[in-house]
Structure 1
Amino acid sequence: MNVKRLYIIGTFDTKAPELQFAADSAREAGVEVVLVDVSTQKTQGGADVTAATVASFHPEGEKAVLGLTDRGVAVAGMADALSAFLKTRDDIGGVFGLGGSGNTDLVTHAMRTLPIGTPKLMLSTVASGNTAPYVGPNDIAMMYSVVDIAGLNAISRRVIANAANAAAGMVKGKVPSHEADKPAIGMTMFGVTTDSVTQARKHLEDRFDVAVFHATGIGGQSMEKLAESGFLQGMLDVTTTEVPDHLVGGVFPCTDDRFGAAIRTKLPCVISVGAVDMVNFGAMDTVPKEFRDRNLYVHNAQVTLMRTTPEENRAIGKFIVERVNQMEGPVRFFLPLKGVSAIDAPGMPFHDPEADAALFDAIREGWVDAPNRQLIDLDNNINDSAFSDALANAFLELIK
C-alpha cells in the first residue's frame, strides 16, 4: 500500500530552520514528511525536493522561475510549477505550507488545484485578514502565525508545532467510508429561488444526497470544485445569478470559468436562469453612483438588488449559452417564461417581460443543437411547482 506523506512546503533560503522544525514536529507526531523548497532566488540544501526540481515542472522549464530579477514573476512561475509538481505525486497525504504573504500566495495557489478532501493547512502571517483570495472554494485551513515566521523562539516554536501536529493529524486521521451513502448531487439556490430548489430537492432526496449551494459567488465555485473532485454525480444548476454579478459588477460574482466543471466532467446537468434578473450589492449606501437611479430593491439591510436591463440580460444569456454549448454530457436547459425569480412575477418589483425576453432570445439565438442537449421552454415562474417537478424529473431521466 502506498504510504501517504505530509508535504511541507516553504522557502529554504529564508525559512530553513522553521521548515526543519515543522518537519521534526510532524515526524514526532507519526507521519512521514517530504520537505519541498520553493525558493526563487538563492537556493540551498536541506530539502527533499529542491527548488530546481520544482521549477523544472513549469511548462516553460526552470528558466521561467529561477534567476529572474522580477520577484513577482518568479513567485507566480514557481506557483505554477508547484501546482504541476504536486499533480505528479501519488503519495500526498496532506500539504502544509508556512511563510509570509508571498509564500502564502504561492503555496495556496497550488493547494487550490488539489482535490477537495486532501488535507491542506497554511500557517501564515496574513491568515488573520481577508483569506478569501487564498482559500477560494477549497478546504484550505488557514492558521495565523501570531509572530513572523522569521526565526525560532518560544512563541513561534509553539505555533509551528501546533500547526505541524494539526497537519499530521489530518494525514493520520481516518475518514468514515461513504460507500453506504447515497450518490451526491449539487444544487444552486438563492433566496428568490428557494421555493423552486426546495421542491426539487424534496423530490430527489430519497435517492440522492443533495448538497445545496448558496449562489454567492463562492457557492457556485464550491459546487464546481466538488464536481471536479469527484464528489458529485450530477448538478442542478438552477440559480445562475452569479453571472450578472460577474458581468455587471455585483458583489457575488462568478469567474469566467463558471460552468467549466460541467464542461470538463461531462456530468449530467439540469440548468436554468434563476435570479439572473438581479445584480447584488451591499447596503443601499454601497450601491455605485452610476446605478443609483436604477430599479433597486432592498432585500435586507445588508443586501440591495438591482434589476437587470434588456441589454444586460442579452449579455447574460450569451455568456451562459456559449458555455452550455460546450457541454458534452447530458444537459437539459430550462427557461421559465413567467419569471426567473420570486420578485420577477407579475405584480412584483422586478417583473419586466422585455428584459426577460431579451434573456430568452439571446439563449435561443445562441443555442447549438446537439443530441446530448435540450433547450426547454416552460410557461411557468421558476418557483412554480410544475417547474420544480420538471427540473427534478429531467434530472432523474438524465441520471439513468
Structure 2
Amino acid sequence: MNPTTPRPPAADTRIALVGALDTKGEEYRFLREEVERLGRRVVLIDIGVLGEPTVVADISREEVAARAGASIEELRSAGERGPGMRAMAGGAAAQLGDLVTEGSIGAVLAVGGSNAAYIMARISEALPTGFPKVLVSTMASGDTRPYVGSTDLTMMNPIADINGLNRVTRPILRNAAAATVGMASAPADEETDGAPVVAVSMFGVTTRCAAQLTERLSGWVEPLSFHANGAGGHALEALVRAGRIQAVADMTTTELADELFGGVCSAGPDRLTAAGELGIPQVVSLGALDMVNFGARATVPGHLEGRLFYEHNPEVTLMRTNAQECALLGALLADRLNGARGPRAIVIPTRGFSMISVAGAPFHDPAADAALIESLQARLSSDVHVTVLDTDINDPTVAEALSTLTMSLMQEGSHD
C-alpha cells in the first residue's frame, strides 16, 4: 500500500478508464462520453488480450503488455488466461503509477467481471491511499476481500452483468462516472503536521478501551484505529510494512483466534509480525481472545455443536474459546513477541478480555482466561515488558497502561 500523494489541481487531471476494449467497448464508449459530458477529459487504457478492440485506446494493450515485459502475441498463445491477466495487471499498474506520479490523472474507473476485478485490485495496490479508485463489477455482491484487500477501492454492484447497455446498467454506469468525477474534483487532504502514527486495534467488545486509548494518545501522536475483523488486521500489517505507522498499540488481537480455529475474521498467518520484523515499538494486549467469530448461527460448522455461542447480531455469532484453545493462543502470542526485533510490551488484564467475558457476562470463564495467561507468561522472554492488571480490558487503567507504555517505548526506540 503506497502512502498518500497530494492530488494535483482538479482542472488539470483526466479520468483514467481501464478496461478490455474487445469485450466492453460499448460500455467504455458510454463511460467516456459521460465523463466528458461532466467536463473531464479521459485517458482510455486497453487491457484486453484475445479479441480486437472496438474502441481506439489512448494507451494500447501492446503498451500495457510491454510494461510487464510481454507481448500480446505471447499472451494470446499461452493457452490459458492466467498469465495474460497477471501480465496485463502488472503492466496496467505500472502505467497508472506513472500517470499518478506525473499528476496527469485524478481518478481511475474500471468495469467488468472477475478479470476486471482482479486487474483493478492489482492497480489499487499500486496507487496511493486516498487516490480515487472505482470498480463496477458483479463481484461486488460477493466476497470482496480478494479485490479490496487493504486498499480504499470503491466497488459498485451493477446488478445485471456488464454485457451491453440497458435500462439497468446504463444508469449505474452513469452514476459510476459521476461518482468518479466527483471524487477527482474533491480537494485532497493535506498531510498532518508530521506527528507519528500509532495503530490501534479494536473490536465492538473492546470499543471502550480503544476509545479511551485513542483519547489518551491524541495530542501526542495520531492514532489510527483498525477494526479487527480480518481485513482490518491485514490493513494494519500492510501499513506498518509500508512505513506509514511508527508504533502499534495492538490491544485487540482476536484475529489470531480466528486464524487458529477457523473463524471468519482471520487476518492471515502473518498477523502480529510486521512491527516485530521492522523493529518498531509495539504494545500488545489480549482483547477479544475469548472468542472466535462466525457468520449467522446457521453457518457455524456442525462439528462445533455443543460449544458456547453468543449471537452478537443476526449475522455474527461468537464462540467462546476454551482452556485448550486459550493455552495455544498464549503460546502464539509469546512466540510473536519473543521474535520481535524492537521494543515491546504486553498488558494482561486478568478479569476479562472483552465486555462479554467479565463476571456475570455470557463468556465469563476464569479457567480459560487463566490458561491463556499462564501459557503466555511461561514462554515470554525476559526482555518483554509485562504489566498485569487485576481488572478487565475495558477498565480505564488498561487504556492508561497501554498509552503510557506506547509513548515510553517510542521514546526508547528513538534513542536507539
The interval holding the TM-score normalised by the smaller chain is 0.7 to 0.9
1:70 alignment partner in structure 2 = 80
Q: Is the 8 A contact 2:281 2:406 kept in 1?
A: yes
2:135 alignment partner in structure 1 = 122
3-state secondary structure, aligned to 1:244: helix
Q: Is the 8 A contact 1:337 1:377 kept in 2?
A: no
Q: Is the 8 A contact 2:43 2:59 kept in 1?
A: yes
Evaluate the alpha carbon distance shift between residue 282 and residue 67 of structure 1 in structure 2; reply closer, same or farther with a 3 A threshold: same
Q: Kindly report which structure 2 residues correspond to 1:289-308, keeping only aligned pairs within 5 A, or say none.
A: 289-299=302-312, 302-308=315-321
The alignment's C-alpha RMSD in Å is: 3.9
Query: Equivalents in 2 of 1:285, 1:336: separation in Å?
Result: 33
Please tell me the residue identity of whatever aligns with 2:404. N
From 207, 213, 227, the counterpart of 1:214: 227
* TM-superposed deviation, 1:187: 1.9
Q: Kindly report which structure 2 residues correspond to 1:384-399, keeping only aligned pairs within 5 A, or say none.
A: 384-399=395-410
Query: Equivalents in 1 of 2:81, 2:221: separation in Å?
Result: 49
Q: Is the 8 A contact 1:274 1:340 kept in 2?
A: yes
**Aligned pair count?**
397
Query: Equivalents in 2 of 1:394, 1:64: separation in Å?
Result: 56
Q: Is the 8 A contact 1:138 1:225 kept in 2?
A: no
Q: Is the 8 A contact 1:235 1:270 kept in 2?
A: yes
Query: Equivalents in 2 of 1:155, 1:346: separation in Å?
Result: 54
Q: Can you list the C-alpha shifts for 1:235-257, whole angstroms capped at 9, x where unaligned?
A: 32100112211221223222234
Q: Kindly report which structure 2 residues correspond to 1:15-54, keeping only aligned pairs within 5 A, or say none.
A: 15-42=24-51, 44=53, 46-54=56-64
TM-score calculated relative to the size of structure 2: 0.77
Q: Can you list the C-alpha shifts for 1:45-99, whole angstroms capped at 9, x where unaligned?
A: 8333333443445589989855322235543554355445544552353221111
From 239, 243, 246, the counterpart of 2:256: 243
* TM-superposed deviation, 1:118: 1.2
Evaluate the alpha carbon distance shift between residue 210 and residue 295 of structure 1 in structure 2; reply closer, same or farther with a 3 A threshold: same
* TM-superposed deviation, 1:177: 3.0
Query: Equivalents in 2 of 1:264, 1:26: separation in Å?
Result: 45
Q: Is the 8 A contact 1:108 1:122 kept in 2?
A: no
Q: Can you list the C-alpha shifts for 1:334-362, whole angstroms capped at 9, x where unaligned?
A: 33345433444566554555544553455
Query: Equivalents in 2 of 1:239, 1:312: separation in Å?
Result: 17
TM-score calculated relative to the size of structure 1: 0.80
Evaluate the alpha carbon distance shift between residue 58 and residue 310 of structure 1 in structure 2; reply closer, same or farther with a 3 A threshold: farther
Q: Is the 8 A contact 1:181 1:209 kept in 2?
A: no
Q: Percent identity?
A: 36
Please tell me the residue identity of whatever aligns with 1:389. E
Please tell me the residue identity of whatever aligns with 2:319. M
3-state secondary structure, aligned to 2:24: helix
Q: Is the 8 A contact 1:116 1:225 kept in 2?
A: no
Query: Equivalents in 2 of 1:233, 1:10: separation in Å?
Result: 38
Please tell me the residue identity of whatever aligns with 1:313. C
Q: Is the 8 A contact 1:145 1:159 kept in 2?
A: yes
Query: Equivalents in 2 of 1:80, 1:276: separation in Å?
Result: 39
3-state secondary structure, aligned to 2:23: helix
2:176 alignment partner in structure 1 = 163
Query: Equivalents in 1 of 2:74, 2:33: separation in Å?
Result: 32
Q: Is the 8 A contact 1:271 1:332 kept in 2?
A: yes
Please tell me the residue identity of whatever aligns with 1:376. V
From 100, 117, 120, the counterpart of 1:107: 120
Q: Is the 8 A contact 1:11 1:37 kept in 2?
A: yes
Q: Which runs of 5+ in 1 are unaligned?
A: none
